[in-house]
Amino acid sequence: MAKPDGVDRGLIGEIITRFEKRGFKLIAAKLALPTKQHLEDHYGDLKEKPFFPGLITYMQSGPVFCMVFEGLDAVKTGRAMLGATNPLTSQPGTIRGDYALAVGRNICHGSDSVENAEKEIKLWFPEGTLQYKLTQASMIYE
């Protein structure tokens, strides 16, 4: 997901491009203005954290762009492409390491486990995702 700062800073295309070029297949995408309740469901495990109210305010400060990418080890590889949560420790070459400085403005979200990815896909895309074949699949996978 491109967070409101990622959308505002014109980074939707950059994020999609990085995942596309890596070989991942986009199977769902949309802009959304989530409600407070929706974000509290999304970040339910962080409810007790001191930064939680600020996180929800930030996440409601503008539209987010939600994406589902499919491919080999998509969760683990996707997290590596995003970089560490705090951009100050994100490696250069990662999305956060190239475009962000502050942990509370880290421009993107990525599911941290397959289980959470499944939950988040259901939460953000109740209408489901699209299944199709990339004609280049045999050039991406052996």
Give the residue ranges of the annotated binding site for ATP. Answer: 3, 51, 79, 85, 96, 106
* Among the listed residues 83, 108, 94, the one whose alpha carbon sits nearest the alpha carbon of residue 11: 108
Query: Are 89 and 101 contacting, i.e. CB atoms less than 8 angstroms apart?
Result: no
Binding partner of residue 103 among ligand DAT, Mg ion, none, CB cut-off 5 to 8 Å per kind: ligand DAT
User: What does residue 2 show for φ and ψ, rounded to 5 degrees?
Assistant: -85, 120
Rg (CA), the chain: 15
H or E segment and range at residue 37: helix 36-42
Binding partner of residue 104 among Mg ion, ligand DAT, none, CB cut-off 5 to 8 Å per kind: ligand DAT
Site residues for ligand DAT, 20-79, by CB under 6 A, read 46, 51, 55
- Judged by beta carbon, residue 85 or residue 136, the one nearer ligand DAT is 85
Site residues for ligand DAT, 77-136, by CB under 6 A, read 85, 103-104, 106, 109, 112
